[in-house]
Amino acid sequence: MTAVKEIKNIGVLSAGKVLGALYLALGLLVGIPLACFSLLSASLVGSTGIQDPDVLGLGLATGVGGLLVYGICFPIFYAVIGFIGGAIGALIYNIVAGSIGGIEIVLGDAGSKY
């Protein structure tokens, strides 16, 4: 048995929370490798035997700063942008669906083709 249904309304906060969580995961997926690369590059600067304080300071700043930016700030920034984008997208969808109709979906029994 199949049924055609229409998505008339999307919860604005619900869409924001879901997309915020997805973007947080994306930020971690991107941010953690970049943070590790930043720490690796900082350790390489320190292991070259260079005694110049400016260069050693750059290596430390790159490592700690990269860890903070890529490992912590990126995921949080991505989550906030995802939440805002999801909420705005749901709001726009609700306005458009209210005037021209929503997206139709076909629901059926599990295992059936249609």
Closest CA to 20 of 93, 77, 95, 67: 77
Check if the beta carbon of residue 87 is closer than 8 Å to that of residue 15. yes
pLDDT at residue 91, as a whole number: 97
Per residue in 54-83, pLDDT (tens digit) is: 554 455 556 667 777 778 888 999 999 999
The model's pTM: 0.72
pLDDT at residue 40, as a whole number: 72
Per residue in 43-57, pLDDT (tens digit) is: 665 555 555 545 544
Check if the beta carbon of residue 23 is closer than 8 Å to that of residue 82. yes
Closest CA to 38 of 57, 62, 8, 5: 62
Q: What percent of the chain has pLDDT over 90?
A: 48
Distances (CA, A) of 83 to 2, 20, 74, 76: 34, 4, 14, 11
Mean pLDDT score of the chain: 82
Check if the beta carbon of residue 86 is closer than 8 Å to that of residue 20. yes
